[in-house]
Amino acid sequence: MAPQNIYDDPDFLAGYVTLNRQVHGLDGAPEWPELERMVNDVAGLRVVDLGCGFR
């Protein structure tokens, strides 16, 4: 049976989990410093994340 999506492929997943952003989370995402500057302080607020993220 073929994988339903690329993440079901063990070879793909083995490489994917070693990506910098997978290992270090937001600190490993190259776009994070710019996005962080664009977002106001959300401490204490309720936030809905509609993005397709990781982990």
**What is the pTM for the complete model shown?**
0.55
Higher pLDDT, 2 or 37: 37
Over residues 4-48, the pLDDT tens digits come to: 888 889 999 999 999 998 899 888 989 889 988 998 888 999 988
Q: What is the pLDDT of residue 54?
A: 57
The Cα 14–Cα 4 span in angstroms is 17
Higher pLDDT, 53 or 41: 41
The Cα 29–Cα 47 span in angstroms is 20
